[in-house]
Structure 1
Amino acid sequence: MSAKLDQLLSDLQASLGDKITKHVVALDEITIECKAENYLAVCQILRDATTLKFEQLIDLSGVDYQTYGDGAYDGVRYAVVCHLLSVSLNHRVRLRVFAQDEDFPILPTLVDIWSVANWYEREAFDMFGIMFENHPDLRRLLTDYGFVGHPFRKDFPMIGNVEMRYDPEQQRVIYQPVTIDERNNVPRVIRDEGAHRG
């Protein structure tokens, strides 16, 4: 590990203390984890501490760990991963936090800390179904208003739940349950009856 990375890890541990539940250093990047109840406080410190100064949230994504590895995350399924950048100090960190309830994953919004979190959180809600408490406008971003489910969840069917088509009688697009035509995947072999068999 480089001296700069070692210093950043030291600064993170000094500023966050026991709010960090885990840290991993791999490929010259630091990933830290915190509990959901410390999420806002950790993000506030990451932004405001003079030794850290993570002014920019450059990415936020949901993650579904349903079938990850050998149960490395003790059955906790949904997480949010934030990538942070300090422009003034030229360093980066990744923060991961798990939503504790698999049936209704919820975490606080980061919009008041980094306003750019708005659309990132809407995408995580749309694709993974992760709720963000106190978000100013939490609604779907990439799927249509009538879409059923969250397509990046690992248990979401590959063919989806509904399909849309244009109905000429109603003169509009309608939604209907997915229809699947059975396919015969056995190749059709055409034989020339007059061919010599040897």
Structure 2
Amino acid sequence: MSTQLEVLQNALATALGDRVTTVVALGEVTLTVKADDYYAVMLALRDDATLAFEQLIDLAGVDYLTYGEGTWDGLRYAVVSHLLSVQHNWRVRVRVFCADDDMPIVQSVMPIWRTANWYEREAFDLLGILFDGHNDLRRILTDYGFMGHPFRKDFPVSGYVEMRYDEAQKRVIYQPVTIDPRENVPRVIREENYGMK
């Protein structure tokens, strides 16, 4: 008798063939797909009756710049999606790497699952990943004048600009960051009886 995980693996292999690379770890299946095959694979995952992944439950962008403490030598940006089949009661993770690190772009899956709308906007806003075919790709968490993408590993912790209310102009203005970089040194308490009563 085969387990549900084995049934899922067989169904994935039959439906998707060599368009994906499958890894099973900790009882979870992760599919890695090439950017050119991404949309077709996601459509097959939803429409194939043996798979029936009706729901996209999460989609996020990933920056692999410092992954493995800098030992990563693959493409920098990826999009990771989590799919759920209510009918079969199983899940799968799908990872696709953006083919170009300078202009990270993948096909939007919003026509397949409408829930991808805000997830893709978040990945665009925070990591700068573009989704081809998304009809409303604009910032969702940062303001419209924000410079850069704050979840990129090379984004400075202090940012590039800060905003403040200018009393003379009676409006909010942007200016270069004025925070002086400093090191926080923890205070060391060396009393023998500290905290004891």
Structure-2 residue corresponding to 1:39? 38
Which ranges in structure 1 are unaligned for 5 or more consecutive residues? 188-198
* In 1, Cα distance between equivalents of 2:14 and 2:71: 27
Find out whether 1:17 has 2:9 as its counterpart: no
Counting aligned pairs with the same residue, the percent is 64
The change in CA–CA distance for 1:184 and 1:59 in structure 2 (over 3 A counts) is closer
* In 2, Cα distance between equivalents of 1:164 and 1:146: 10
* In 1, Cα distance between equivalents of 2:15 and 2:48: 7
* In 1, Cα distance between equivalents of 2:140 and 2:181: 33
The change in CA–CA distance for 1:36 and 1:73 in structure 2 (over 3 A counts) is farther
Give the conservation status (yes or no) of the 8 Å contact 2:29–2:93. yes
Q: Which amino acid in the other structure matches residue 154 of structure 1?
A: K
* In 1, Cα distance between equivalents of 2:74 and 2:26: 26
* In 2, Cα distance between equivalents of 1:30 and 1:112: 24
Alpha-carbon RMSD across the aligned residues, in angstroms, is 2.0
Alignment of 1:29-178 (within 5 A): 29-69=28-68, 74-178=73-177
The change in CA–CA distance for 1:133 and 1:183 in structure 2 (over 3 A counts) is closer
* In 1, Cα distance between equivalents of 2:58 and 2:184: 43
1:163-191 alpha-carbon deviations (Å, 9 max, x no partner): 0111001111111110123658689xxxx
User: In the TM superposition, what is the alpha-carbon distance from 1:25 to its structure 2 partner?
Assistant: 1.1
Q: Which amino acid in the other structure matches residue 122 of structure 1?
A: R
For 1:93, what is the secondary structure of its paired residue? Answer: strand
Structure-1 residue corresponding to 2:7? 7
Give the conservation status (yes or no) of the 8 Å contact 2:127–2:150. yes
Greater Cα offset, 65-74 or 2-11: 65-74
Q: Which amino acid in the other structure matches residue 107 of structure 2?
A: P
Count of residues paired in the alignment: 186
Q: Which has the larger radius of gyration?
A: 1
Greater Cα offset, 2-11 or 155-164: 2-11
Q: Which amino acid in the other structure matches residue 57 of structure 2?
A: I
1:52-89 alpha-carbon deviations (Å, 9 max, x no partner): 00000000000000111277763300000000000111
TM-score normalized by the length of structure 2: 0.89
Q: Which amino acid in the other structure matches residue 16 of structure 1?
A: L
For 2:30, what is the secondary structure of its paired residue? Answer: strand
Structure-2 residue corresponding to 1:180? 179
User: In the TM superposition, what is the alpha-carbon distance from 1:28 to its structure 2 partner?
Assistant: 1.1
TM-score normalized by the length of structure 1: 0.89
Give the conservation status (yes or no) of the 8 Å contact 1:66–1:75. no
Which ranges in structure 2 are unaligned for 5 or more consecutive residues? 187-197
- Runs of 4 or more above 3 Å deviation: 70-74, 181-187
Give the conservation status (yes or no) of the 8 Å contact 2:66–2:72. no
* In 1, Cα distance between equivalents of 2:17 and 2:159: 44
